[in-house]
Amino acid sequence: MRRKLVVGNWKMHGSRPANADLLSALRGGRPYTATVAVCVPFVYLSETAATLAGSDIHWGAQDVSAHAQGAYTGEVSAAMLAEAGCRYALVGHSERRALHAESDMLVAQKAQAALACGVTPIVCVGETLAERESGLTEAVVKRQLSAVIHQLTHCAAEMVVAYEPVWAIGTGLTATPEQAQAVHAVLRAQLQAATGHGQTMTILYGGSVKPDNAATLFAQPDIDGGLIGGASLKASDFIAICRAAH
Ligand code: PEP
């Protein structure tokens, strides 16, 4: 039985007062049956750690450098994230793939850098609307995941995968539970074939998950929880989504 996981992705949102309110509401909403985490902007990691310390809510970053250290101005290493107590780091979010031209190979290297420091990479994969309409969904997500599987080799079973159709992120459009389940089943079969541990690995769905659609999505056999963007910024919505995962 896989435990559900719900992860908030704050993107580039937040302020100290707003974060304090959000995090204390999230703490106050416990207990959750699911594992719960928030991926916050780097600059807020320390105060997130201070606010969540002693709770069973985890925190993480939204990106990580592929490099261990050195002259990489503006980047943050996995060792630094580990020092900040991060349990997770998102890698390959579609906004980074699209806006920062991150390749499958770079995403794979970032996942490897995270794992090497004990930070679990949440590897995001997903097709654009044009790719879906051309019948390329399966080929695209398998290609994106395959790059990471090959880079991680024997550690591949330690990653978390998030299926996030690009056309559903921040748009209000959600994949139907059946559409999402179909892709999750493909990804799980790929993970099982490559690692032998596909049945125990966590695969999240992301893309306009809200309190009113979360339970149906999370009830699908291969959907192990969610990666939540916009709705993770409103305490009552995020708490409702966390409670829908059990
Ligand atoms: C995301 O940012 O990963 C995401 C899924 O965003 P939203 O929930 O707003 O679609």
Q: Is 43 helix (H, G, I), strand (E, B) or coil?
A: helix
Is 164 a residue of the active site?
yes
Q: For residue 142, is pLDDT > 90?
A: yes
Q: For residue 124, is pLDDT > 90?
A: yes
Q: What does the block give as tokens for 108? A: 């794979």
Give me the count of residues in the chain.
Answer: 246
Q: Residue 173 has what pLDDT?
A: 87
Q: Residue 241 has what pLDDT?
A: 98
Q: For residue 17, is pLDDT > 90?
A: yes
Structural domain boundaries, residue 93: 5-244
Q: Residue 44 has what pLDDT?
A: 98
What's the DSSP call for residue 106?
H
Burial (0-12, 13-18, 19+ Cβ within 10 Å), 25: middle
- Closest protein CA for atom 3 of ligand 1: 229
Q: What does the block give as tokens for 39? A: 């991926």
Residue with tokens 């995020």: 238
Is 138 a residue of the active site?
no
Q: Given 93, 95, 127, 131, which residue is catalytic?
A: 93
Q: Determine if ligand 1 sits within 6 Å of the CB of residue 244.
A: no
Q: Determine if ligand 1 sits within 6 Å of the CB of residue 207.
A: yes
- Closest protein CA for atom 6 of ligand 1: 229
Q: For residue 143, is pLDDT > 90?
A: yes
Q: Determine if ligand 1 sits within 6 Å of the CB of residue 28.
A: no
- Closest protein CA for atom 1 of ligand 1: 229
Over range 38-53, report the average pLDDT: 98
Closest CA to 190 of 178, 201, 204, 180: 201
For the chain, percent of residues with pLDDT exceeding 70: 100
Predicted confidence band of residue 172 (pLDDT cuts 50, 70, 90): confident
Predicted confidence band of residue 4 (pLDDT cuts 50, 70, 90): very high
Q: What does the block give as tokens for 64? A: 């990580």
Q: Given 95, 102, 127, 164, which residue is catalytic?
A: 164
Per-residue pLDDT tens for 191-221? 999 999 999 999 999 999 999 999 999 999 9
Alpha-carbon distance 137 to 157, whole Å?
23
Alpha-carbon distance 165 to 193, whole Å?
23
The per-residue b/e assignment along 139-166, b for 16 or more CB within 10 angstroms, e otherwise, is ebbbebbebbbebbeeebbbbbbbbbbb
Over range 161-165, report the average pLDDT: 98
Q: Residue 106 has what pLDDT?
A: 98
Q: Residue 58 has what pLDDT?
A: 98
Cβ contact 224:202 at 8 Å: yes
Q: Residue 1 has what pLDDT?
A: 80
Q: Residue 68 has what pLDDT?
A: 98
How many structural domains are present in the chain? 1
The minimum-distance atom of ligand 1 relative to the CA of 162 is 3
Alpha-carbon distance 140 to 57, whole Å?
33
- The pTM of the full predicted model, rounded to 2 decimals, is 0.98
Over range 71-85, report the average pLDDT: 98
What's the DSSP call for residue 214?
H
Look up the CATH number of the domain holding residue 52.
3.20.20.70
The whole-chain average pLDDT of the chain stands at 97
Q: Determine if ligand 1 sits within 6 Å of the CB of residue 170.
A: yes
Over range 210-235, report the average pLDDT: 98
The minimum-distance atom of ligand 1 relative to the CA of 95 is 2
